[in-house]
Amino acid sequence: MHCYGTLINYLSCGFILTGLVHLVHHRKTQTSYGRHMKLSPPTRMVPARLAWFLQEMPAFFIPLLLTLTSYRPSSMGKTLLLGTFSMHYFQRTFVYSLRTRGKPFPLSVMVAAGLFCSLNGFLQGHYLLHCAQFDDDWSADYRYKTGLVLFYVGMAINIHSDYILRNLRKPGEVIYKIPTGGLFEYVSGANYLGEIVEWFGYAVATWALPTLSFAVFSLCFIGPRAYYHHRFYQENFKDYPKLRKALIPFIF
């Protein structure tokens, strides 16, 4: 397939711009789901499991479809796509979504997230399969190796932290408790820290604007959320660990 380079560049810049605009507009309030939900009736709600499944699914299936319809012989782009982005979204769509014990999700937020995942699935899939040019020795490059290590470490932190959060509640409970264990001993947003490390690792391993744009978007979206989660814990739990930070251990 032809590489739609101009479209890819526009989409990448759009992601960075959207992330920065989100950062500025959400200095005081966070996107309305989970503990930061502000209901303004009539808000239609979707069960959390269905919402996460439907909104994340396009980010897995669109790159998969692009891979299946790409006739290029095995390439570094395909290896990177399947080994990173698709692996993450397989986990998010078929494991995380189906096990979450979160509150119901506003339909509007689910639709917006699904649209973002569709665009991102296309951006990452099309770029890596049809536009990226990797030298034959890219797999020996220190950026490839370092990036992949960061990606897998971040993914492990993210999955482990989401597992800790999920197990704070018994089935049917919707209360919040103080998370402990893993990186939660150091930061309130351990799952977000893992996810941010993951996508910056992916950007380093692929060394490209589209992958960097997704990492920047993630940082702008979930970085502030970690700060607001941290504030929520401090306001609601008198015994919240004093030395715990919001997102970066010992620093912030």
Ligand X SMILES: NC(=O)c1ccc[n+]([C@@H]2O[C@H](COP(=O)([O-])OP(=O)(O)OC[C@H]3O[C@@H](n4cnc5c(N)ncnc54)[C@H](OP(=O)(O)O)[C@@H]3O)[C@@H](O)[C@H]2O)c1
Cα-atom radius of gyration of the chain, to the nearest Å?
19
Q: Which is nearer to ligand X, 89 or 144 (CB)?
A: 89
Peptide bond into 42 cis (omega under 30): yes
Site for ligand X in 35-64 (CB under 6 A): 35
Stretch that binds ligand X, among 1-9, 141-149, 158-166, 243-251 (CB under 6 A): 158-166
Q: Which is nearer to ligand X, 148 or 197 (CB)?
A: 197
Asked if 198 touches ligand X (CB under 6 A), the answer is: no
Positive or negative CA dihedral for 160, 151, 12, 252? positive
Asked if 100 touches ligand X (CB under 6 A), the answer is: yes
DSSP track, 74-131:
S-HHHHHIIIIIHHHHHHIIIIIHHH--PPPEEHHHHHHHHHHHHHHHHHHHHIIIII
Asked if 158 touches ligand X (CB under 6 A), the answer is: yes
Q: Three-class SS of residue 245?
A: strand
Q: Which residues pair with 187 in a beta bridge?
A: 245
Q: Is 166 left (phi over 0), alpha (psi -120 to 50) or beta?
A: alpha
Q: Which residues pair with 115 in a beta bridge?
A: none
Site for ligand X in 64-93 (CB under 6 A): none
Stretch that binds ligand X, among 10-18, 132-140, 188-196, 204-212 (CB under 6 A): 188-196
State the minimum distance, in angstroms, from the CB of residue 135 to ligand X: 29
Pick the binder of ligand X from 15, 85, 192, 228 (CB under 6 A).
Answer: 192
> CB-hemisphere CA count at 13 Å for 100?
20
Cα gap 246→223, rounded to integer Å:
9
Site string for ligand X, 160-179 (x = CB under 6 A): --x--xx-xx----x-xx-x
Asked if 188 touches ligand X (CB under 6 A), the answer is: no
Pick the binder of ligand X from 22, 26, 49, 103 (CB under 6 A).
Answer: 103
Residues 167 and 198 sit within 8 Å (Cβ to Cβ): no
Pick the binder of ligand X from 46, 212, 222, 247 (CB under 6 A).
Answer: 222
Asked if 111 touches ligand X (CB under 6 A), the answer is: no
How many residues at the interface with ligand X, by CB under 6 A? 23
List residues near ligand X by CB under 6 A: 34-35, 100-103, 158, 162, 165-166, 168-169, 174, 176-177, 179, 191-192, 195, 218, 221-222, 225
